[in-house]
Structure 1
Amino acid sequence: MSTVLVVTEAILGPTDIENIDAFAPREEDETTEIRLMVPAAMKKNLWLEFLDQLALLDFREAVDVVTSAEKGPQTLESEARAILDASVEELRAQGYSVRGRTAVGDPLAAMQEEVSDGAEQVLIITDPHPVEDTFNIHWSNKAERTLGVPVLHLYWGTGYVDD
Structure 2
Amino acid sequence: MTDHTPDPDARRPGASYDVVVLVEQPLSPTDVSNLVALHEGVDEPVRYHVLLPVEDPAARVESAIGALGTGEMLTSPPVLVDAEAAEELRHDVRERCDADVAAAVASLEGTGARAVGLAVTGEPVDALVRRAGEVDAREVIVLTRPHVVAELFHVDWTSRARRKLGVPVLHLLEHESFEEQAGDGEGISGF
Which TM class, normalised by the smaller chain length?
0.7 to 0.9
Task: Give the secondary-structure state (helix, strand or coil) at the position aligned to 1:74.
Answer: helix
TM score, norm. by length of structure 1: 0.73
Name which of 169, 180, 187 aligns with 1:151: 169
Read off the aligned partner of 2:172 and give its amino acid letter. L
Judged with a 3 Å threshold, the aligned counterparts in structure 2 of structure 1 residues 146 and 81 are, in CA distance, closer, same or farther, namely same
On the 8 A contact 2:19/2:140 being kept in 1, the answer is yes
Go from structure 1 to structure 2 and tell me whether the alpha carbon gap of 1:135 and 1:75 turns closer, same or farther (over 3 Å shift): farther
User: How many pairs were matched up?
Assistant: 142
What is the match of residue 84 of structure 1?
101
Asked whether the 8 Å contact 2:36–2:113 carries over to 1, the reply is no
Alpha-carbon shift at residue 132 of structure 1 (Å):
1.7
Identity of aligned residues (%): 28
Query: Aligned to 2:142, what secondary structure does the other structure show?
Result: strand
- Partner residue in 2 for 1:38: 52
Answer with 1 or 2: which has the greater Rg.
Answer: 2
Report the alpha carbon displacement of residue 79 of structure 1 after superposing the two structures with TM: 2.7
Q: Distance in 2 between matches of 1:94 and 1:7?
A: 19
Normalising by the residue count of structure 2, what TM-score does the alignment of the two structures yield?
0.63
Q: Distance in 1 between matches of 2:127 and 2:162?
A: 14
Match of 2:137 in 1: 119
Bigger strand fraction: 1
Distance 1:5 1:116 in 2: 10
Q: Is the 8 A contact 2:105 2:115 kept in 1?
A: yes
1:22 maps to 2:40: no
Q: State whether structure 2 residue 151 is matched by structure 1 residue 133.
A: yes
Instruction: Give CA deviations for 1:115-141 in whole Å, capped at 9, x if unaligned.
Output: 111111111111222222222222332
Structure 2, unmatched stretches of 5+, are: 1-15, 68-84, 183-188
Question: What is the CA deviation profile of residues 31-86 of structure 1, one whole-angstrom value per residue up to 9, with x for unaligned ones?
Answer: 11111111114667837x96xxxxxxxxxxxxxxxxxxx97543432232122111
The answer as to whether partners of 1:91 and 1:98 remain within 8 angstroms in 2 is yes
CA contact (8 A) 2:143 2:172 kept: yes
Matches of 1:152 and 1:106, distance apart in 2:
19
1:104 corresponds, among 121, 139, 162, to: 121
SS at match of 1:99: strand
Give ranges in structure 1 of 5+ residues lacking alignment.
51-69
* Separation (CA, whole Å) in 2 of partners of 1:141 and 1:76: 27
- Note the aligned Cα RMSD (angstroms): 2.8
| Compared CA separation, residues 74 and 133, structure 1 to 2 (3 A) | farther
Q: Give how far 1:143 is off.
A: 1.0
Letter in 1 for 2:99: A
CA positional deviation for 1:144: 2.0
Q: Which amino acid is the alignment partner of residue 98 of structure 1?
A: A
1:11 Cα deviation after fit: 2.3
User: Which moved further from structure 2: 82-91 or 126-135?
Assistant: 126-135
